[in-house]
Amino acid sequence: MRFLNKFCSSISIVLLLTIVLIGCSSNTNGSGGTNESGSNTGNEGSGEGASQVKLEILSWWTAGGEADALNAVLDGFHAANPDIKVENAAVAGGAGSNAQTVLSARLAGGEPPAIFQAQGGPDLLRWQEAEYLDSMTALYDEFGWKDVIPEELLQMNMKDNEIYGLPINIHRNNVIWYNKKLFDENGLQAPTTYDEFFAAADVLKAKGITPLALGDKNPRWSTLVLETVLLNQLGADGISELWTGNADFDTPEIREALSTYQKMLTYTNDNHSALDWQDAAELIVSGDAAMMIMGDWASGFFASKNMEPNVDYGWISTPSGEKIFNVVNDSMGMPKDFTDKEAAKKLIEYFGSVEGQKTFNKLKGSIPARTDVDVSDYSVYSQSAAQDFKESRIVLSLAGGSATPAAFINKFDEAVNMFTYQQDADALIATLNQARSILTGN
Ligand code: GAL
């Protein structure tokens, strides 16, 4: 019996030791923490990638073009950093409608991703105001980014002389995309004024073709359309003044822009409230619709559908009295609670590198934020965008999350969404005038 007891006790000791050993080997890589959660890094217990560090990147790049761009830049990173595995934790929903909610929960819950996508400016800085972000100033010095990132973009992500975001691209969102075959078949030219836009729309409507594809399941995309009409009505200075909160929304110009927008709605697909932007873009691809107003991530989407610029689709900037480039910028942020700083630093370094930005933007439909990236092998659309960026008035986009605090954009989205259905200009103007306090801080 005693022997048995002894035997049992030795068995249980061995067993216990084994469990501990297994436990230890799956957890620590010397910087502590659990893997898979992203907040802490870890090695895998066994098999391939045993010594790999795991990180997560959180974005909302899930549609054709943008997902391809993200995968391509991660492939490049993995090739250069075989000891690090980046998990793509993207959350679907245009303009970050869902990803930002997930990000907020993860930051508050101490489970931050290694890096995440935000819109440059107020959208990114709100996470710094909540004290979730690491400063990147030292990285800018180490990697020489101050010399290659345009000053406007750099300033966007700065607070109290510290830099909190890395701009990776420059998108333009005051663009009309059109199905070139439909335009050629109907003898139509790209519209340079709203009169021409409505004349083309009438021709298309008469042929049973949806003139304007819209997907405003996320009302941000209606905000975008209205923003481009306001750009035409108010110009670069007028619209920038509007986003300061110092200008009244109840003006004849804004009422005229609202009636133009109202008329545009009569040319859209009936199911627009059930679609996100890529679903609406799909209508251009299929030829069910002829035009769409969207950011140039649409050109990345069209490329992912093998649509050729100037062959299958065309583009023109939305009508405006002066050449305007309405900027949408994606910037990466780094949560300070993410423990494996070394690995996260390698990832952000790659996103800031010439190779990283060249790879990403070529598929994304945007132009690199870095000014020293050769884009001569980019699509003819992207090359024209790069030229326009040099020649145009640069305006920060409301719908792109860079012109005002998120709280104001959300109010604007709600008001536009109501207007889309109730078409009550007085109600919309009253809501926006009320929301000016968010802009002025009063
Ligand atoms: C924007 C973002 C773009 C693109 C677009 C569509 O907010 O800046 O990169 O992802 O949403 O979802």
pLDDT in tens, the chain (442 residues): 444 444 445 545 555 455 444 444 444 444 444 444 444 444 444 445 557 899 999 999 999 999 999 999 999 999 999 999 999 999 999 889 899 999 999 999 999 999 999 999 999 999 999 999 999 999 999 999 999 999 999 999 999 999 999 999 999 999 999 999 999 999 999 999 999 999 999 999 999 999 999 999 999 999 999 999 999 999 999 999 999 999 999 999 999 999 999 999 999 999 999 999 999 999 999 999 999 999 999 999 999 999 999 999 999 999 999 999 999 999 999 999 998 999 999 999 999 999 999 999 999 999 999 999 999 999 999 999 999 999 999 999 999 999 999 999 999 999 999 999 999 999 999 999 999 999 998 8
**Which residue's CA is minimally distant from atom 8 of ligand 1?**
330
CB 224 within 8 A of CB 402: no
Atom of ligand 1 nearest to the CA of 94: 12
Quick one: pLDDT at residue 215? 97
Atom of ligand 1 nearest to the CA of 276: 12
Residue 399 Cα, ligand 1 centroid: separation in angstroms? 10
CB 357 within 8 A of CB 425: no
CB 367 within 8 A of CB 389: yes
**Which residue's CA is minimally distant from atom 2 of ligand 1?**
95
Cα dist from 292 to 95, 194, 268, 274, 318, whole Å:
17, 14, 9, 16, 10
Tokens of 194: 């709203």
Question: Taking Cα atoms as reference points, which of 140, 137, 161, 158 lies closest to residue 149?
Answer: 140
Contacts 24+ apart (CB under 8 A), 147-152: 148/370, 148/371, 148/372, 149/369, 149/370, 149/371, 150/369, 150/371, 152/327, 152/394
Q: ∠ CA(412), CA(418), CA(422), 5° rounding?
A: 140
Q: What whole-number distance in Å separates Cα of residue 13 and Cα of residue 440?
A: 68
Residue 218 Cα, ligand 1 centroid: separation in angstroms? 12
* Helix (H) and strand (E) counts in the chain: 18, 15
58, 59, 60, best to mutate for ligand 1 pocket (most atoms within 8 Å of CB): 60
Q: What whole-number distance in Å separates Cα of residue 122 and Cα of residue 134?
A: 16
59, 66, 299, best to mutate for ligand 1 pocket (most atoms within 8 Å of CB): 66
Q: Please, what sign has the CA dihedral across residues 61, 64, 65, 71?
A: positive
Cα Dmax for the chain: 100
Contacts 24+ apart (CB under 8 A), 268-272: 268/210, 268/211, 268/212, 268/213, 268/214, 269/210, 269/212, 269/213, 269/214, 272/214, 272/215, 272/216
Question: Taking Cα atoms as reference points, which of 167, 164, 102 lies closest to residue 132?
Answer: 164
Q: What whole-number distance in Å separates Cα of residue 176 and Cα of residue 317?
A: 6
Question: How many CB atoms are located within 10 Å of the residue 23 CB?
Answer: 11
CB 215 within 8 A of CB 420: no
How many residues in the chain? Answer: 442
**Which residue's CA is minimally distant from atom 9 of ligand 1?**
330
Residue 359 Cα, ligand 1 centroid: separation in angstroms? 17
Question: What secondary structure does DSSP assign to 245-279, as a single string?
Answer: T-S-S-SHHHHHHHHHHHHHHTTB-TTGGG--HHH
57, 58, 61, 153, best to mutate for ligand 1 pocket (most atoms within 8 Å of CB): 61
Residue 72 Cα, ligand 1 centroid: separation in angstroms? 17
Residue 393 Cα, ligand 1 centroid: separation in angstroms? 21
CB 254 within 8 A of CB 430: no
Residue 410 Cα, ligand 1 centroid: separation in angstroms? 16
59, 123, 328, 396, best to mutate for ligand 1 pocket (most atoms within 8 Å of CB): 328
**Which residue's CA is minimally distant from atom 12 of ligand 1?**
94
Q: What whole-number distance in Å separates Cα of residue 287 and Cα of residue 210?
A: 9
Question: Taking Cα atoms as reference points, which of 212, 167, 178, 214 lies closest to residue 396?
Answer: 167
Q: What whole-number distance in Å separates Cα of residue 433 and Cα of residue 423?
A: 17
CB 395 within 8 A of CB 225: no
Strand stretches in 89-222, DSSP E: 115-119, 158-159, 162-163, 166-167, 169-172, 175-179, 210-213
- Indicate the SS3 state at residue 395: strand
With the CA atoms of 387, 393, 394 and 395 taken in that order, what torsion angle do they form, in degrees rounded to the nearest 10? Answer: -140
DSSP 307: P
Ligand 1: residues within 6 Å at CB? 60-61, 66, 94-96, 119, 171, 277, 295, 297, 328, 330
Atom of ligand 1 nearest to the CA of 295: 5
Quick one: pLDDT at residue 1? 42
Atom of ligand 1 nearest to the CA of 93: 12
Runs of H (alpha helix) within 326-424: 341-351, 354-364, 380-391, 406-422
CB 38 within 8 A of CB 113: yes
Residue 15 Cα, ligand 1 centroid: separation in angstroms? 52
Q: Please, what sign has the CA dihedral across residues 100, 249, 170, 264?
A: positive
Residue 323 Cα, ligand 1 centroid: separation in angstroms? 23
**Which residue's CA is minimally distant from atom 7 of ligand 1?**
95
- Indicate the SS3 state at residue 417: helix
153, 171, 329, best to mutate for ligand 1 pocket (most atoms within 8 Å of CB): 171
